[in-house]
Structure 1
Amino acid sequence: MSGIINYGVIGCGMMGQEHLRNIALLPEARVAAIFEPDPDMAHAAAALAPSAQMCPDMDALLAVEPLDALVVVSPNHLHVAQMEQIAARRPLPLLMEKPLYTDAAQAARLAALDYPAPVWVAMEYRYMPPIAALIEQVDAATGGPVMLSIREHRFPFLHKVGHWNRFNDWSGGTLVEKCCHFFDLMRVILRAEPVRVMASAGQSVNHKDESYEGRAPDVWDNGYVIVDFDNGSRAMLELCMFAEGSRYQEEISVTGPTGKIEALVPGPGRFWPAHLGAPPVPQVIVSPRSPRGPQVVEIPVDPTLLDAGDHNGSTFYQHSRFRDVVLGQRPVEVTLSDGARAVEMGLAAQESARTGQSVALGLQK
């Protein structure tokens, strides 16, 4: 393939528009077609990609001739059916937003799907510069990871079209919708597979005074999850979604026999209080056991990339790699199996928190 890569984008709400802004930063790339059923979101998308053909449905988008790749950014509960439709009609290289699915019953449908083109599941957190640096340095800094802690203290769920992120049956639940990113990071950092999940979570503060067509939101806003892995390592997630006053949004710590490495990631710059001055800069901290003494490195992110989205520049870096996949220059880095495994862990955490019992995954050792 040579020349400009033409993208079709399905779903252009808040995250879809972030994808549009980042595709616009890629060399020799353009959005050729968009399907977005909400009129307000479609209007905003057309402003970001004025040369794109606005399509009334997915069939119309898939019929647009000059398409080289697709990006699916629709509400979570639509992902599996839309992927099946694409596979049956026109299976182009596909960047599929997380979570890959929302309900255990959908896992078999995905497993049965014979998709002949590359599929990349959008796990942006891998590509946040401080987290990418931690992943690259983790062995040297720790002597091999044994314990991993991920803390996310952030703002509540934002308002989305149709309020789909307020309900477990549409979103998959908070520990799927929000936290599949972190379960993916656990597997990547520890290079191991989960065998047992234990969780405690609930809805303590957020969305309690909201009602949509007579339904009260049921998504959780805080929780703890502990995961045991098949190589003997373990990981913990701490989530709080009423902590937007925090200096850093994500704090990741990995410890091994020779030391510790941490990554500190600020939240979206647009939420940082202007009266406090410039937002905090991402950091990586390496703390060897001997000689003792933390080593702090700041990892600033290109302001252009920060302006293009809320994910610390990671959406652009992910798109750069996916573009290489479309060109046949790189293998997929986040596979369907990776995406499915992250959801499996999230659903297990939801079940553990609901029942008060641990949930086994795979073969325990």
Structure 2
Amino acid sequence: MDIINYGIIGCGMMGQEHLRNIALLDGARVAAIFEPDEIMSNAAKAIAPNARLCASIDELLAFADLDCLLVASPNHCHVDALEQIAETNPLPLLMEKPLYTDPVDIARVEAIAASYPSPIWVAMEYRYMPPIHVLIEQVQRATGGVKMLTIREHRFPFLPKVGDWNRFNRNTGGTLVEKCCHFFDLMRLILGSDPIRISASAGQEVNHLDETYDGQTPDIWDTGYVMADFANGARAMLELCMYAEGSKYQEEISAVGPAGKIEAFVPGPGRFWPTHLGAPPVAQVIVSPRSPKGPQAVDIPVDPTILDAGDHNGSTFYQHVRFLDLVRTGGTPEVTLADGAWAVRMGLAAQEAAKSHAVVAQI
């Protein structure tokens, strides 16, 4: 395989970010696209002018020259697309998060996982943000074994999407699934353990309260705290605020253990940074040993071309580099269907804990 041909299902905002990043890869191109919205389809064609626009998923899956697939459709469409791919043309697949949104769909996912003949990689881009990647690599040495993990995301509200699908929990799975599955995935990865209890307090406090769509007011949350206890004794906390776009950093991760602390600071999308403040901030990692005391800070810059290709600190590009290698050489995905399912299970448990004001232990 000299050139890897992608087929892409769904080219809204996130799908177009994938298109821009695939264009930066050596030995890869987008060969076919299915996007039912005319405006988004035209935008995708402008980014990938040589790609064939398909009228249906079936037409795309019948395209003869595809080597791999990417699903970036709205959340509630993921499992249907996964089943159709599995039945029709089960190529290596990069599956956008969340893997599913309704608890009953886990059985459908597990049935596919049992027989799918090619690798399926769940797109947990945040693993591949350069500062977070450095934290993951250095966390055991810096902490001596993590006992406390804190993830904070202070960011902008949900952006408009096609048909306003992301304004309603029935489509997204809920904010703690849609937005926070990334962070629950990071918790399991960094701690090397699975959760046994989750508690949460969350709700809709500021955003979208004055919006209506077909007479319905959005019900997505914009505020939340989640606490999780893990089987290895570690504890983790998530703090989410989606009306804090004035922050210097969008994501802040802190891991602490008996040897010290390591922190990662990730700026938000450069396109949202106020131009009168000059250049956007650069990501940073800080290691703070207990002895000898003295924080050690390192900037983690990202190639500006890669930064400009998306809103996720370069992570979409670096994820594609690894996925492309998997397509070429085979092996096991770094983010498996089991990882994707765990992230959703934690999000659903957090949603339930916040609604019921009770600790959830059935995860």
- Per the alignment, residue 146 of structure 2 pairs with 145
Tell me by how many angstroms 1:24 deviates: 0.6
What is the alpha-carbon distance in structure 1 between the residues aligned to residue 286 and residue 134 of structure 2? 10
Hey, what's the Cα distance between the residues in 2 that align with 1:39 and 1:266?
32
For 2:75, the aligned partner's letter is N
Q: Tell me which residue corresponds to 1:96.
A: 95
2:158 corresponding residue in structure 1 = 157
In structure 2, stretches of 5+ residues that fail to align are none
Give 1:330 deviation, angstroms: 4.6
User: 1:103, CA displacement in angstroms?
Assistant: 0.9
TM-score with structure 2 length normalisation? 0.99
Aligned mates of 2:65, 2:313 — CA distance in 1:
31
For 1:48, the equivalent position in structure 2 comes to 47
Equivalent-residue separation in structure 1 for 2:49 and 2:331 (angstroms) = 30
Contact 1:324 1:330 in 2 (8 A): no
State how far apart, in whole Å, the 2-side matches of 1:164 and 1:325 are: 32
**Contact 1:321–1:330 (8 Å) recurs in 2:** no
The match for 1:58 is 57
Give CA deviations for 1:329-361 in whole Å, capped at 9, x if unaligned: 553100000000000000000000000001004
Shift of 1:112: 1.3
Equivalent residue letter for 1:219: I
Q: Give the Cα separation in 1 of the matches to 2:26 and 2:242.
A: 36
Residues 186-227 of structure 1, C-alpha deviations (whole Å, 9 max, x = no match): 000000000000000000000000001111100000100000
Task: Write the letter of the residue equivalent to 1:87.
Answer: A
3-state SS, counterpart of residue 151 of structure 1: strand
Instruction: Give ranges in structure 1 of 5+ residues lacking alignment.
Output: none
Corresponding residue number in structure 2 for 1:270: 271
Which residue number in structure 2 is paired with residue 256 of structure 1? Answer: 257
What secondary structure sits across from 1:181 in the alignment? helix
CA RMSD in angstroms, aligned pairs only: 0.7
Supply the distance in 2 between the matched residues of 1:112 and 1:123 (Cα, whole angstroms): 22
**Cα deviation, residue 17, structure 1:** 0.2
SS at 2:46 equivalent = helix
* Equivalent pairs, count: 361
Paired-residue identity, %: 71
* Partner in structure 2 of residue 185 of structure 1: 186
| In 2: Cα distance, 1:331 partner to 1:268 partner | 31
Deviation at 1:328, TM superposition (A): 1.8
CA positional deviation for 1:116: 1.2
**Aligned mates of 1:203, 1:331 — CA distance in 2:** 39
Matched, 1:222 2:223: yes
Q: Which amino acid aligns with 1:78?
A: C
Cα offsets for 1:9-48 (capped at 9, x unmatched): 0000000000000111111111000000000000000000
The CA distance in 2 between the partners of 1:331 and 1:303, in whole Å, is 30
* Distance in 2 of aligned mates of 1:80 and 1:46: 25
CA distance in 2, matches of 1:44, 1:50: 10
In 2, Cα distance between equivalents of 1:116 and 1:77: 24
- Alignment-derived partner of residue 108 in structure 2: 109
1:201 partner amino acid: A
Superposed CA deviations along residues 108-137 of structure 1, whole A, max 9, x for unmatched, are 111111211100000000000000000000
Q: Which amino acid aligns with 2:44?
A: A
**C-alpha separation between the residues in 2 aligned to 1:223 and 1:63?**
43
In the aligned structure 2, how far is the partner of 1:9 from the partner of 1:143? 42
Alignment correspondent of 2:126 = 125
Does the CA contact (< 8 Å) of 1:33 and 1:61 recur in 2? yes
Answer whether contact 1:7 1:69 (CA < 8 A) is retained: yes
Counterpart of 1:73 in structure 2 is 72
CA deviation profile, 1:128-183 (whole Å, cap 9, x unmatched): 00000000000110001110000000000000001111100100000000000000
Which runs of structure 2 are paired with 1:300-315 in the superposition (5 Å)? 300-315=301-316
TM-score, normalised relative to structure 1: 0.98
Counterpart in the other structure of 1:24: 23
In the alignment, the residues of structure 2 paired with residue 330 and residue 309 of structure 1 have an alpha-carbon distance, to the nearest angstrom, of: 27
Name the residue aligned to 1:289.
Answer: 290
